[in-house]
Structure 1
Amino acid sequence: MSNETMKILRNSGWYEGRNIDTKEIEENLEKLGFIIYPEVKKFLAEFGNLVIEDTINDETHNTGVKFRSQGAFKAEEKYAQENLVPVGFIDSDNLVLFVSESGKVYCSTGKLGDNAKEAWESLIGGSGGKPWGRF
């Protein structure tokens, strides 16, 4: 990750090796019918419960959201070709952030990265990821 991306994440409370207790987040998602895959749990442990003030793009990204309903993410899963679990909101709450069962990170409009760090770099660093159907 770039120094700028790391600085924004650190200012939000993230640090290398972060490993929070994810029990409450997992229980909330499981009540809604989501399966907490190992890669989802890994993402939540490192990046869960953060409010990231993205000063580069003037946006907020929130991984501390409690979802109230499962929602209709079937279209996104069809594009991703794997199961997705919502883990927060990005772009000032305009897009849902997902982690797939394989650990890839997506949002409502496409793929952000093959892993969490690549996704944060795409999102904060400015490339914005790849729209559905273009990866």
Structure 2
Amino acid sequence: MGSFSASTLASLSQAGWQAGRNTDTLSYRLCLAAEGYAWFPAVAAFLGEFGGLALTFPRHHQRDTVHFHACQASVGVDARWVRDDYARRLGNRTLCVIGAAYSDHLVLFMDDAGQVYGGYDDFLCEVAGSGPAAIEALVSNQPLPEIQ
């Protein structure tokens, strides 16, 4: 578990999360493999704890969302684009979809070290150094530095 602010903990609790949560990840592994994504321990650990959750939070004077339905998030993304563009821009890191944020506009990816990135078309950003830190960054509306 990461260190979450009170508002992020409230969003997580409302979504059904509790410390020690552990869900089966086989369905994620199978659908992501079928889409062409690598599976690695950082993704398994993250989706084991947070997979299937959908959080709502205030953003720009309205409610917004982040979810960790990895299969759903991967549907609209071309895995070749991720490999050929995003991974190249990140120094050829291997990426796997873990969810989506901002009403599904920003697809979330994790690398094998647990670093989280977000992408939408040509836009690519660094979200945080770990899955829990990414949740905190998104829910608390922290700036997401763009990667050229």
Structure 2-normalised TM-score?
0.82
Deviation of residue 76 (structure 1)? 1.8
Structure 2 residue corresponding to 1:68, chosen from 49, 62, 75: 75
Query: Is residue 99 from structure 1 mapped to residue 114 from structure 2 by the alignment?
Result: no
| SS of equivalent to 1:102 | coil
Query: Is residue 23 from structure 1 mapped to residue 26 from structure 2 by the alignment?
Result: yes
Structure 1 residues 16 and 128: alpha-carbon distance in aligned structure 2, compared to 1, 3 A threshold: farther
The answer for unaligned runs of 5 or more in structure 2 is none
Query: Is residue 52 from structure 1 mapped to residue 55 from structure 2 by the alignment?
Result: yes
Residue 136 of structure 2 aligns to which amino acid in structure 1?
E
- In structure 2, the residue matched to 1:39 is 42
| SS of equivalent to 2:46 | helix
| SS of equivalent to 1:19 | coil
| SS of equivalent to 1:20 | coil
The answer for unaligned runs of 5 or more in structure 1 is none
| SS of equivalent to 1:130 | coil
1:51-95 deviations in Å (ceiling 9; x for gaps): 1112x2221112124233761113221233211111111100111
CA–CA separation in structure 2 for the residues paired with 1:78 and 1:21: 31
- Kept in 1, the 8 Å contact 2:64–2:103? The answer is yes
1:20-53 deviations in Å (ceiling 9; x for gaps): 0000111000112211111011111011111111
State the Cα RMSD in Å. 1.6
- In structure 2, the residue matched to 1:13 is 16
CA–CA separation in structure 2 for the residues paired with 1:29 and 1:70: 11
CA–CA separation in structure 2 for the residues paired with 1:128 and 1:29: 28
Count, aligned residues: 132
Percent identity over paired residues? 27
| SS of equivalent to 2:137 | helix
Structure 1 residues 88 and 124: alpha-carbon distance in aligned structure 2, compared to 1, 3 A threshold: same
Residue 94 of structure 2 aligns to which amino acid in structure 1?
N
Structure 1-normalised TM-score?
0.89
Deviates more, 1:39-48 or 1:65-74: 65-74
